[in-house]
Structure 1
Amino acid sequence: MTDYHGYATFQEFLDNVQYSRIGILSYEKIFGHTYVSTGGEDTTNDLCSALSLGPDSSVLDIGCGIGGSAFYLARKYGCRVEAIDLSKNMLDIGMERLKEQVEKAGLREDQVRLVLADCTTVDYPEASFDLVYSRDTILHIADKATLYQRCLRWLKPGGQLLVTDYCCGEKPWPDDYAAYVKQRGYHLLTVPEYGAVLSSVGFTDVEAIDFTDRFRRALVDEQSRVVGLREQFLKDVGEQMYQYILDGWGAKIGRVDRGCQRWGLFKARKPL
């Protein structure tokens, strides 16, 4: 039986433990408006600058959070984005942000579709998308090979895969890091192991890049932002939550510096 830490489903675990509404809004203050992913729009711009997309392109964003990357891709390239997430709290906020994007940023209503869905069970017709995109989401999934087989089928011939994900250092891990990974419900691979999964299911031109230096720079910037927003956090969530967030960023930097936590950037294509 799958362990969801006392909750009936993984979705309930996410919405009640990791992604409560107040937690998501706190993260958004740190990452930037519409974002709950490392580096916010800065890293999104860096990662997406070389993509080959246009107004006729279709994108699947797996683990879209509150919509930041989906909105960015739709604005930048004029493409259509199917944006899915398993957290209802994320998507409730995402729908609020989508309305803002339509009203204030010139996004068309039909460009981004936010959907409550599990990427391991949702299905799409073969060759539906020009890009499958995901930011720090697939770390929750144990059977990555099966998911990426599905992604490969959903992509058009020559279609692109662009993923960032939490990765890990070589085992054995320190006890405290192993306990952290278990508590968070993560399933982590080293960067080379992750790249090997992509190659094994049939992707070509696989690039498995250890992007941890960029991750650490983003974490340090975000930590400084938390300190700078102290008074706002104290007003909105109180001293205890503020200290929890600040300690969390310090702990992430510490895990990176110890070599336990890595950040992988993965690029690949579906064969023509």
Structure 2
Amino acid sequence: MLLEPMFPPQEFCRQLGLRPGQRVLDVGCGSGGSAFFMSRLYGVHVHGVDISSNMIDLAVQRQTHLRRAQRKRLQFEMRDILDADYGDCSFDVIYSRNSVLHITNKEELFAKLYRWLKPSGTLFVTDYCLGPAPTSRPFADYMAKSSMSLVTVRDYGRVVTRAGFSLIARDLGNEFDRIQQNELDAFIPTQEAFAQEYSQEEFEGMVTVATNKLTWIRTRQLTWASFVGRKL
């Protein structure tokens, strides 16, 4: 709960120009939160893909409780996105929230996303990035342990533009700081209940990770960014 910047999906979906009947690819869809939101509010068809079988199982379970019309607009697939091939010009919008950080070969990924997107289609990605400050040993160790492959906002943008997209990149570090602090402030009062359900050790571990993360954000080692691309 302390890892993911939890901007509501509507904050980002407004930038996508979604229209009923469009096809959306949700890369790293998790349990389907954004996919359900987009299909319900905008009437789009969403294909969600995630490498985690647990997340896909949760998404499919949630899907079974929907009305038939919305249920038919959703499809979920467990797959490594680099192993997928959906065909040229298959999607109007490609959307990904904080998932590409685990992919080392970003060049291969964005080349595929460009090919799968229709002409004039929209790419929208948020992701963790390296900040401009030197990386400390504790942060480097955390990235290695978490299998994070981070690059700077500038280098990330270069990968996207080299794939062929026109691009607007935004560093969201200030928002990242605010969200992480708010989540930590909300989590600390749950200590007793959390420790009873899980353990005091796990509670303290999560607080330590969150506190370290705020330090890395505020020392500009870690940031968060959005990338809006267009296929020309």
TM-score for the superposition, normalised by structure 1: 0.80
What is the rounded CA distance, in whole Å, between the counterparts of 2:231 and 2:154 in structure 1? 19
Query: SS in structure 2 opposite 1:167?
Result: strand
1:65 to 30, 34, 38: 30
Q: How does 1:164-179 map to 2 (within 5 A)?
A: 164-170=126-132, 172-179=134-141
State the match for 2:5 in structure 1: 38
CA contact (8 A) 2:39 2:45 kept: yes
Query: SS in structure 1 opposite 2:83?
Result: coil
Higher relative contact order by CA 8 Å / sep ≥ 6: 1 or 2? Answer: 2
The residue type paired with residue 143 of structure 2 is V
State the match for 1:126 in structure 2: 88
The residue type paired with residue 254 of structure 1 is T
State the match for 1:196 in structure 2: 158
The residue type paired with residue 243 of structure 1 is E
| 1:86 is aligned to 2:48 | no
State the match for 1:221 in structure 2: 182
TM-score for the superposition, normalised by structure 2: 0.93
State the percentage of identical aligned residues: 32
Which runs of no fewer than 5 residues in structure 2 stay unpaired?
none
1:208 to 151, 162, 169: 169
What is the rounded CA distance, in whole Å, between the counterparts of 1:176 and 1:107 in structure 2? 49
CA 1:99–1:220 in 2, change beyond 3 Å: closer, same or farther? Answer: farther
CA 1:233–1:107 in 2, change beyond 3 Å: closer, same or farther? Answer: farther
Query: SS in structure 1 opposite 2:93?
Result: strand
Between 71-80 and 242-251, report the one with greater CA deviation.
242-251
The residue type paired with residue 142 of structure 1 is T
1:260 to 203, 216, 221: 221
CA contact (8 A) 1:55 1:79 kept: yes
The residue type paired with residue 38 of structure 1 is P
Deviations 1:132-160 (A, max 9, x none): 10011101111111110100010010000
State the aligned residue count: 232
- Cα RMSD (Å): 1.8
CA contact (8 A) 1:74 1:107 kept: no
Deviations 1:20-43 (A, max 9, x none): xxxxxxx3xx7xxxxx8421xx44
Query: SS in structure 2 opposite 1:268?
Result: strand
CA 1:37–1:82 in 2, change beyond 3 Å: closer, same or farther? Answer: farther
CA 1:232–1:96 in 2, change beyond 3 Å: closer, same or farther? Answer: farther
**Cα distance, 1:171 vs. partner?**
6.3
Runs (4+) of structure 1 moved beyond 4 Å? none
What is the rounded CA distance, in whole Å, between the counterparts of 1:37 and 1:180 in structure 2? 16
Query: SS in structure 2 opposite 1:235?
Result: helix
**Cα distance, 1:231 vs. partner?**
3.6
